[in-house]
Structure 1
Amino acid sequence: MSDPVPPLDPAELSAYFSLIEVSSLLRHTVEQQLKDAGGLSYVQFQLLATLGDSPDDSLRMTDLADGVVYSRSGLTYQVGLLERDGLVRRSPSTDDERSVTVTLTDAGRDVLARVFPGHVEVLQERFLESLSPEDVTTLADVLGRVRDHMRTIPPRSARPRRRHS
């Protein structure tokens, strides 16, 4: 029989609920801005921005899924919508014949350029305005450590696939 899990103390519980509420409030505002400025969902923006930050504006589908922590089937659907709208293109990977590479198009770059100013404005007004530069540094450090710890045990959708022999 395993030992009972100790309850969270009030500070831990407060930190958790604050993180969840901040995340929900910020995401709601960001999603509305992205929809209004570029007709994008939050996930589509994440995909385009991740591609825009990658070398050659391209990533293999599996690397893209791992980077944004999204299910492979959901990613395939979202990339299909972005491809339909001319914002990305898919092609066979030059490194692995079983892989597909997704590349940001000029139209995709244009949409990112259109949504980014409003996106930054939302982040500044809703998230960063109440923080000092020191707070931002501390928060980036703390959340970076939590992210790195959580990435050691990724969700099932973000785990590398097992190869069948």
Structure 2
Amino acid sequence: MTEPPHAVDPVQLGAYFALVEVSDLLRYAIEQQLREAGGLTFVRFQILMRLRLSPTGSHRMTDLADAIVHSRSGLTYQAGLLEKAGLVARAPSVDDERGVTLTITEAGRALVARVLPGHEEVVGQMLFEPLSRADAQRLADLLGPVRDHMRAAPPRSGRARRRRT
């Protein structure tokens, strides 16, 4: 009997479960910190950070959904909540008449500035404290190609939609 083409050996399976557990534990701690420091969910924080880091403070919503790996409808819902809170503004895209652009507001920037130090503290304590600088570089070197491989597939918003029958 031959193994399937993508069979995972015990070492790979162990690495997979360690990665998932580390990710879950880190995400839980981050979500707790964001909720306490600014009433944010992780997804809303990701949206605000992507906008804050953009040179224009804006992104097309489809591109933003792909970047944070979130459905278009889910991003629309989250953007609506952020807009209602005065943290972002939505406007028609200048490049695409069907597109919508999301822009961070000054209130959104202020909220990110308030929660970011605690966020960085949690990430530093949980993820990087047990690692040397060289270990952190090796981790980045290992995960970069994996991320790039996964991103090579069409993003969710780029896939053809299934038609309802």
Instruction: Compute the TM-score of the two structures, normalised by the length of structure 2.
Output: 0.92
Q: How does 1:15-164 map to 2 (within 5 A)?
A: 15-154=15-154, 158-160=156-158, 162=160
Q: Deviations over 1:25-64 (max 9, x none)?
A: 0000000000000100000000000111112100011111
Structure 1 moving runs of 4+ over 2 Å: none
Distance 1:29 1:154 in 2: 30
Residue type of the partner of 2:8? L
- The answer on 1:5 being equivalent to 2:17 is no
Secondary structure in structure 1 of the residue aligned to 2:158: coil
Seq. identity, %: 59
CA contact (8 A) 2:72 2:157 kept: no
1:65-115 alpha-carbon deviations (Å, 9 max, x no partner) = 111110000000000000000000000111111111000000000000000
Displacement after TM superposition at 1:4 (Å): 4.7
Question: SS at 2:8's partner residue?
Answer: coil
Q: Secondary structure at the match of 1:5?
A: coil
List gaps (5 residues or longer) in structure 1. Answer: none
3-state DSSP of counterpart to 2:81: helix
Measure how far apart 1:8 and its partner are: 2.0
Figure out how many residues of one structure are paired with residues of the other and give that number.
159
Runs of at least 5 residues in structure 2 that lack an aligned partner in the other structure: none
Alpha-carbon displacement from aligned partner over 1:111-131 (angstroms, at most 9, x marks no partner):
000000000000111110000
Instruction: Determine the C-alpha separation between the residues in 1 that align with 2:59 and 2:159.
Output: 17
**Alpha-carbon RMSD:** 1.6
Partner Cα distance (1:125, 1:24) in 2: 15
Offset at 1:161? 5.1
Q: Write the distance in 1 (CA, Å) between the matches of 2:154 and 2:136.
A: 25
